[in-house]
Amino acid sequence: MAAKKPDDQPADLKIILLGDSAVGKSKLAERFLLDDYQPQQLSTFALSLYRHTCTYPFTSAQRTQEKPRKLTVDFWDTAGQERFQTMHASYYHGAHACILVFDVGRKITYKNLDTWYEELVGHRGLNLPVIVVANKIDVDLSRASKAFGFVERRRAERLEAAAERGLPAANAADYDPLPLFFASASDGTNVVSIFREAIDRAVKFKNAGVGEGTFVDEVLAFIHEEEGKEGGMFSGKENDEQAEAGTGETTAGAARAAAMDAKNGLPSEPPLPAKMLAS
């Protein structure tokens, strides 16, 4: 397939790939996309970006309930930056889902999942969809029968967080808050399923508008609750007097602005370059 023309418009979705170096993140993305993408090298941020266009929903059953539409998805890849065991904050900023990858043949890459996961949650909260991928399963198929403590532990943690926030999915019998896929970028095992699952969850996350579940989200919810409560911290006479006097923002407004500044305080996503590198 011929390389597509560059598109400087923001994508509908941003999905990030995360995990140790050489676990196969780039190979998984390239296997899924084949030639149907626009690669970019954003050298300032030491990452690669693959833009993909797809028709969503994917299945005919879903399309009977939802009208098909074109989606543009940016897949962000670390391009070696992960060797420092941390990522720049802008890498996480604005993500709608994460594909977290480890190599089933290298135990250290599995142990490091906790580090990557904690950093991800620190930036994006517990509500962000995460798909865990055990890659290179073709090397030893017996590993597909193993249980992984990281997944079980974090799965329970995410279920509890969803229940505390009253999210509908938390009560669904078939809901898996942290799906695990065994995959092979070499032979293609589960690759399409992984990326379609990530896109599907990213769409639902974006549409739900439930917030990322971060501390700032909780502060904003508290301000909203107090404004509507008689005798609340941000209700009543003080705010009315401030508004009538025209002295500037009300206490609630200032608090909300400060919270939003904190929420948006991460560096903005870099603008798409005028020229993209084509394969």
Place of tokens 């991800």: 120
Distance from the first to the final alpha carbon of the chain = 11
Q: Which residue has the higher pLDDT, 39 or 188?
A: 188
Joined together, the tokens standing for residue 215 give 């501390």
Report percent pLDDT > 90 for the chain: 44
Lookup: tokens for 157: 């943690």
Q: Does the pLDDT value for residue 30 go beyond 50?
A: yes
Tokens of 58: 């994917």
Domains of the chain, by residue range, sit at 13-208, 215-263
pLDDT tens-place string over residues 226-267: 666 666 666 555 555 555 555 555 566 666 666 555 544 444
Residue 160: is its pLDDT beyond 70? yes
H-helix segments, the chain: 25-33, 60-63, 89-92, 107-111, 113-124, 149-164, 191-208, 215-227, 237-245, 251-263
CB of 110 within 8 A of CB of 150?
yes
What pTM did the predictor assign? 0.72
Which helix (DSSP H) or strand (DSSP E) does residue 181 occupy? strand 180-182
* Residue 109: predicted pLDDT: 95
Q: Would you state the torsion angle of the CA atoms of residues 120, 124, 89, 275, taken in this order, to the nearest 10 degrees?
A: 110
Task: Note the pLDDT of residue 146.
Answer: 83
Residue 42: strand pairing partners = 47
Close Cβ partners of 134 (under 8 Å, ≥ 6 residues apart): 102, 104, 143, 144, 148, 180, 181, 182, 183
pLDDT at residue 37 greater than cutoff 70:
no
| Dihedral of alpha carbons 6, 8, 11, 15, sign | positive
Q: Is the distance from CB of 16 to CB of 128 less than 8 angstroms?
A: no
CATH superfamily, with its number, for domain 13-208: P-loop containing nucleotide triphosphate hydrolases (3.40.50.300)
pLDDT band at 225 (very low <50, low <70, confident <90, very high): low
Instruction: Count other C-beta atoms under 10 Å from residue 190's C-beta.
Output: 18
